[in-house]
């Protein structure tokens, strides 16, 4: 593990800043990510995922679910509501403690979090700062049809609390025994003071979380197990190993619910930042919800006759942050092309199909191949411009394979299969295409 740094915001080197600007431009130009409500001027900290971004995000989400839920006998999934009873957030500590300390610059009027400022002056202009004040991070809304009968409720700032609320129901319906986990992928909302770094810190985002319940004597074993497995998953979906690290929290940095915490960080162009946190939450959450709800959330072990409140090991990953890490990791500029070197596992488009020319019946054959392949994969058909230009368009969005139909296809029913990274080309029978691509694009 690596010693944790102070986490202060630092200016980016010019080269890394340029790289990030180019990536953001590519994402908008090619349909990965757009500013939300852009025709009205946009809203800071909110983003829309376009056709390619939606596919990339879905591929990451689906692989996470496959590995952490479907491939395990000790984890089940849920999909819970975004709005919960307001007492949930009193029990969890969010109503009292979920605040940032803010200051404003009296000169340039910019706003900053206190924990991101070094020194007592404005980091932008050097001006005088206001006194700190609290800023609550939860979005509040009202529930009820008639104004005088509404109740204040909150959009959830994290997905995990509903998993604790359903602990006893899952025990029953899943016939679960400790140790076991509950997983969820879903939207969370935080009224961030200073959304920044593209989709890294947003006001609406998606989390992939697991709450894994165990006996307190097995906390350390399961913490280490989940930490190892979760770090390996990032490498499996294509992140370079030297750009992933573990960052343990000092005791003074631990959240109020945590007995231990380690961040899994990625080296973004704007520095090392968290993509996931592994936390030992102990029995805090189940104990708190027992206290506030009056419902017993303890567990009875038939084998030992012991009744106890389970401890919880949490894996909390940011889906949007993972997508951003994959984009940053895949982006490369070469003399003749820009390429996104996504793993075929998560690439939004798996294969492009091209007729060499728009003559004879080559387009018809190419269209037929595309229709056959798209029953299994996301594919594109492109007949515009030179074949080299078409290859470059697919390289820029990370498509791992290109299939070209040429005159030899008319003679022997073979096509050229081109590989994105090496740009190697080889002949392959049309009937063998689906199996070849499937082997590369699935686990």
Mean pLDDT taken over the chain: 92
pLDDT tens string 184-206: 999 999 988 778 899 999 999 99
pLDDT more than 70, % of the chain? 95
Mean pLDDT within 309-333: 97
State both tokens at 256: 């109020």
Among residues of the chain, what percentage have pLDDT more than 90? 77
Check pLDDT > 90 for residue 256: no
CB neighbours of residue 85 within 10 Å: 15
- Write down the pLDDT at residue 3: 42
Q: Give residue limits of the domains in the chain.
A: 14-86+165-329, 349-441
- pLDDT reading at 7 higher than 80: no
| CA gap 297, 283 in Å, rounded | 10
pLDDT per residue as tens digits for the range 281-291: 999 999 999 99
CATH of domain 349-441: 3.40.50.800
**Amino acid 4: pLDDT:** 42
Residues with Cβ within 8 Å of residue 128, at least 6 apart in sequence: 105, 106, 107, 121, 122
**Contact between 188 and 201 (Cβ < 8 Å):** no
Measured CA distances, 168 to 119, 133, 183, 212, 310 (Å):
49, 40, 15, 14, 12
Q: Over the stretch 95-134, which tens digit does the pLDDT of each residue have?
A: 775 656 778 888 888 877 777 777 788 888 888 888 787 7
The pLDDT-based confidence of 441 (bands split at 50, 70, 90) is: very high
Same fold flag, 14-86+165-329 and 349-441: no
The domain 14-86+165-329 having CATH identifier 3.30.70.260: the answer here is no
Kindly give the pairing relationship between strand 379-381 and strand 337-340. unpaired
pLDDT of residue 9: 40
Q: Do strands 180-189 and 75-78 pair parallel, antiparallel, or not at all (unpaired)? A: parallel
- Average pLDDT, stretch 259-266? 96
C-alpha count within 13 angstroms, C-beta hemisphere, residue 274: 18
C-beta of residue 91 within 8 angstroms of C-beta of residue 206? no
Position 2 scores a pLDDT of: 45
Q: Are 420 and 401 in contact (CB under 8 A)?
A: yes
Which helix H or strand E contains 425, and what residues bound it?
A: strand 425-429
pLDDT digits (tens, 9 = 90+) for 140-183: 888 887 777 788 899 999 999 999 999 999 999 999 999 999 99
Per the DSSP assignment, residues forming a β-bridge with 337 are 334
CB-based burial of residue 127 (10 Å sphere; 0-12 exposed, 13-18 middle, 19+ buried)?
Answer: middle
Helix (H, G, I), strand (E, B) or coil at 130: coil
Q: How far apart are CA 319 and CA 157, in angstroms?
A: 15
Confidence of residue 13 (pLDDT cuts 50, 70, 90): low
Contact criterion met (CB below 8 Å) for 386 and 414: no
Please state at what angle helix 362-373 crosses helix 433-441, rounded to 10 degrees. 40
């Amino acid at each position: 593990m690596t010693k944790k740094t102070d986490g202060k915001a630092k200016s980016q080197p010019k080269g890394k800043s340029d790289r990030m600007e180019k990536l953001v431009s590519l994402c908008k130009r090619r349909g990965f990510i757009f500013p939300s409500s852009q025709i009205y001027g946009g809203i800071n900290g909110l983003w829309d995922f376009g056709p390619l971004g939606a596919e990339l995000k879905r591929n990451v989400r689906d692989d996470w679910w496959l590995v952490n839920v479907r491939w395990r006998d000790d984890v089940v999934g849920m999909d819970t509501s975004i709005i919960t009873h307001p007492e949930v957030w009193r029990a969890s500590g969010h109503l009292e403690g979920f605040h940032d300390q803010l200051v404003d610059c009296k000169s340039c009027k910019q706003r900053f979090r206190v924990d991101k400022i070094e020194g007592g002056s404005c980091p932008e202009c050097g001006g005088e700062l206001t006194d700190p004040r609290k800023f609550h991070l939860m979005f509040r809304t009202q529930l009820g049809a008639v104004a005088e009968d509404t109740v204040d409720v909150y959009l959830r700032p994290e997905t995990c609390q509903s998993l604790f609320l359903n602990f006893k129901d899952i025990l029953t319906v899943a016939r679960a025994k400790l140790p076991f986990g509950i997983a969820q992928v879903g939207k969370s909302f935080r009224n961030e003071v200073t959304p920044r770094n593209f989709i890294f810190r947003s006001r609406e985002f998606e989390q992939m979380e697991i709450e894994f319940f165990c006996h307190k004597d097995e906390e350390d074993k399961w913490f280490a197990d989940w930490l190892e497995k979760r770090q390996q998953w990032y490498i499996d979906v294509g992140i370079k190993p030297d750009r992933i690290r573990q960052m343990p929290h000092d005791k003074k940095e631990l959240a109020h619910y945590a007995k231990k915490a380690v961040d899994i960080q990625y080296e973004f162009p704007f520095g090392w930042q968290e993509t996931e946190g592994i936390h030992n939450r102990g029995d805090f959450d189940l104990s708190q919800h027992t206290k506030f709800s009056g419902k017993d959330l303890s567990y009875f072990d038939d084998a030992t006759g012991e009744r106890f409140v389970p401890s919880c090991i949490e894996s909390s990953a940011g889906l949007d942050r993972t997508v951003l890490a994959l984009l940053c990791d895949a982006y490369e500029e070469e003399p003749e092309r820009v390429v996104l070197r996504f793993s075929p596992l998560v690439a939004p488009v798996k294969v492009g199909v091209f007729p060499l020319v728009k003559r004879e019946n080559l387009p018809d054959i190419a269209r037929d191949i595309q229709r056959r392949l798209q029953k299994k994969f996301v594919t594109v058909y492109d007949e515009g411009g030179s074949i080299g230009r078409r290859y470059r368009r697919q390289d820029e969005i990370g498509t791992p394979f290109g299939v070209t139909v040429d005159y030899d296809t008319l003679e022997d029913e073979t096509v050229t299969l081109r590989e994105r990274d090496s740009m190697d080309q080889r002949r392959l029978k049309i009937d063998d295409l689906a199996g070849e691509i499937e082997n590369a694009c699935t686990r």
